[in-house]
Amino acid sequence: MNRPPLKRFYVKSFGCQMNGYDGERMSELLEAEGMIAAEDAATADLVVLNTCHIREKAAEKVYSEIGRLKRADGTSPMITLAGCVAQAEGAEVLARTKMVDIVVGPQAYHHLPELIHQAASGKVVDIDMPVESKFDKLPARKKVGPTAFLTVQEGCDKFCTYCVVPYTRGAEISRPFSRIINEAHALVDKGAREITLLGQNVNAWSGEDDAGRPQGLEGLIRALDKISGLERIRYMTSHPNDMSEGLIEAHGDIKKLMPFLHLPVQSGSNRILKAMNRAHTTESYLSLLQRLREVRPDIALSGDFIVGFPGETEQDFQETLDLISEVRYAMAFSFAYSPRPGTPAADMDNQIDQGVSKERLQRLQALLNTHQLEFNQQTIGRKTDILIERAGKKLGQMIGKSPWLQSVIIEAPVKIGDMVAVELSEAGPNSIRGRQTESVMA
C-alpha cells in the first residue's frame, strides 16, 4: 500500500503507569527520528496502540480499537500494536487483522525506528525479550513535568494464579543503580520535583551502588534523597513479601519519601490467598502495616482487590470486607475476577457466577468509598504542601497533590510546578479543597 511519508505520530496508552512511561519513551524515540506528535489518531500517519492485558477481554477490545482507526476514505494510518496484548498475541495479530503493520512487545520497543523502516516492505513482529536493555537505547528524556515517572524494575516472578504479567512482561529485572540515578538527575534538571519509581514489583528492586555494595530499594531511595531539587519520592507497585524492614524504616526517616504506600493484598481470606499463590497471609500483611504505621503514623495506604476469585465463598468475601474495615484504606482499586487465558486460575473448575462477583464488587466498593471519604475528612485542618500539577475545571482553580496523594483544589494565582503551602479545608470522596497559607508545616 502506498502511504504518505510518516510525519505525524500518535501514541495511545492504556493501563498502568508503567505503560504510561513506555508510551512517553516511545514518543521521545519517534521525535528523535524527526517525527512530530499529532493531536489525535485521525490526523496521524503512524498510530501506536500501547495496550494493556489486565483489562477484561483485552484482546477483543484491542481489535475493535484497531478497526476504529479505519478512515472514511478507506485509508488507515500505519498501525503499531505495542504493550502487553502485543506481547501475548504476537504473530496471531497479523492473522486476525490486516490493518496492523508492526507488533512490538514491551521489552523491544526501542527497536521501533528500525521496525518502521522494515515495515515499508512488509509486516514485522518483534516480541523478543532481549538481554540488552532497551533503556540504554532510548534518547534522553525531554518533556518533563513537575511529577515524573521513572521505571526502575520490570517483570514479575511471583506467578499469582490470576495474572498475566509474568507472561507478558517476563521475569523480574532491575535497572542498574547508576543508570537510575543519572536518569533522576536528568529529570530534576528538566524540572521534575517529584519522582515516582515504577515497577511491577518495584520493592523487589536490587542492585549495587557505585561502591559495589548490594542495595535494595531503600538504598536507591536514600541515594535519590541526596539529589537537591528533588523534593518528593514515591514508588509503586509493591508486593507484601518484598517489603523489607529496611524499606519500612526508610518511611520513618526519609522526609522526601511521601507518606503513601500502594500495597495490594487482593483478598482477606487466607484460603483464597493460597489459591491465588500470593505466598502471604492476612496476618503477615496486617503486621507489615502495623510496622509501617509505627514508623510513619500518618501513612496513607492503598490496595488492589479481586472479588469472585474461583471458589470464593460468601465467608471468604466477608473476610475481605473485615480486612478492609481493619485497615481503612485511603484509596483502593478493585476488580471482579475475570479469567485470563493461559493463567492457572482460568482453568480452575470452581469459577464464580459473574452476577455474584458484580454484586460483591459493589458491596466492596461501597465500603472502600466510605473509608476514602473518612480518610479525606480526617486530614481537614492539616497544613501541608501541595505540588501543583494542572489547572482545575473552573477558571482560577488549580489542582495539586498532597503528600498523601490526595487531589487538592485551590483557587490561587499559582502555576504548574509550584509547591504551595495550604490548609486542607473541605473533603469530598475524590478531592479536597484547600486554602493557600503563608507558612509551611510538612
Contacting residues toward ligand SF4, per CB under 6 A: 156, 158-160, 163, 165-166, 200-201, 239
Mode of pairing for the β-strands spanning 102-104 and 78-82: parallel
Which option in ligand SF4, ligand 5AD, none does residue 9 bind, with CB closer than 5 to 8 A by kind? none
Which option in ligand 5AD, ligand SF4, none does residue 156 bind, with CB closer than 5 to 8 A by kind? ligand SF4
Per CB under 6 A, which region of 146-154, 335-343, 350-358, 421-429 contacts ligand 5AD? 335-343
- Judged by CB under 6 A, the residue of 306, 327, 409, 422 near ligand 5AD is 306
**DSSP conformation class of 290:** H
The yes or no reply on residue 317 touching ligand 5AD (CB under 6 A) is no
Which option in ligand SF4, ligand 5AD, none does residue 158 bind, with CB closer than 5 to 8 A by kind? ligand SF4
Min dist CB 275 to ligand 5AD, Å, is: 13
Whether 235 contacts 270, CB under 8 Å:
no
Which option in ligand SF4, ligand 5AD, none does residue 200 bind, with CB closer than 5 to 8 A by kind? ligand SF4
- The SS3 assignment for 37 reads strand
Per CB under 6 A, which region of 86-94, 107-115, 142-150, 334-342 contacts ligand 5AD? 334-342
Site for ligand 5AD in 152-171 (CB under 6 A): 162-163
Number of residues that bind ligand 5AD (CB under 6 A): 11
The yes or no reply on residue 264 touching ligand 5AD (CB under 6 A) is yes
- Judged by CB under 6 A, the residue of 28, 304, 374, 389 near ligand 5AD is 304
Min dist CB 200 to ligand SF4, Å, is: 5
CB-neighbour burial class of residue 286 (10 A; exposed 0-12, middle 13-18, buried 19+): middle
Which option in ligand SF4, ligand 5AD, none does residue 340 bind, with CB closer than 5 to 8 A by kind? ligand 5AD
Min dist CB 247 to ligand 5AD, Å, is: 19
Residue type for position 2: N
- Judged by CB under 6 A, the residue of 17, 21, 54, 328 near ligand 5AD is 54
CA angle 256, 261, 264 (to 5 degrees): 160
Per CB under 6 A, which region of 176-184, 330-338, 383-391, 415-423 contacts ligand 5AD? 330-338
- The SS3 assignment for 311 reads coil
The yes or no reply on residue 371 touching ligand 5AD (CB under 6 A) is no
Q: Which is nearer to ligand 5AD, 147 or 267 (CB)?
A: 267
d(CA 24, CA 19) in angstroms, rounded, equals 9
The yes or no reply on residue 266 touching ligand 5AD (CB under 6 A) is yes
Min dist CB 166 to ligand 5AD, Å, is: 11
Which option in ligand 5AD, ligand SF4, none does residue 335 bind, with CB closer than 5 to 8 A by kind? ligand 5AD
Whether 218 contacts 137, CB under 8 Å:
no
Rounded CA Rg of the chain: 23
- Judged by CB under 6 A, the residue of 10, 337, 375, 404 near ligand 5AD is 337
Residue 176 falls in which region: left (phi positive, over 0), alpha (psi -120 to 50) or beta:
beta
**Phi, psi angle pair for 389, to nearest 5°:** -110, -30
Residues 372, 194, 132, 101: is their CA dihedral positive or negative? positive
Query: Residue 369 contacts by C-beta under 8 Å, 6 or more apart in sequence?
Result: 429
- Grid coordinates representing 368 are 472502600
Min dist CB 40 to ligand SF4, Å, is: 32
- Grid coordinates representing 13 are 496508552
- Grid coordinates representing 117 are 523502516
Choose among 193, 153, 202, 172: nearest CA to 385: 193
Q: Which is nearer to ligand SF4, 156 or 399 (CB)?
A: 156
The yes or no reply on residue 242 touching ligand 5AD (CB under 6 A) is no
- Grid coordinates representing 386 are 501541595
The yes or no reply on residue 335 touching ligand 5AD (CB under 6 A) is yes
Query: Residue 315 contacts by C-beta under 8 Å, 6 or more apart in sequence?
Result: 269
Which option in ligand 5AD, ligand SF4, none does residue 239 bind, with CB closer than 5 to 8 A by kind? ligand SF4
Min dist CB 14 to ligand 5AD, Å, is: 13
Choose among 110, 63, 64: nearest CA to 88: 63
Residues in the chain: 442
Choose among 58, 85, 151, 91: nearest CA to 339: 58
The yes or no reply on residue 247 touching ligand 5AD (CB under 6 A) is no
Counting Cα atoms < 13 Å in the Cβ hemisphere of 374 gives: 12
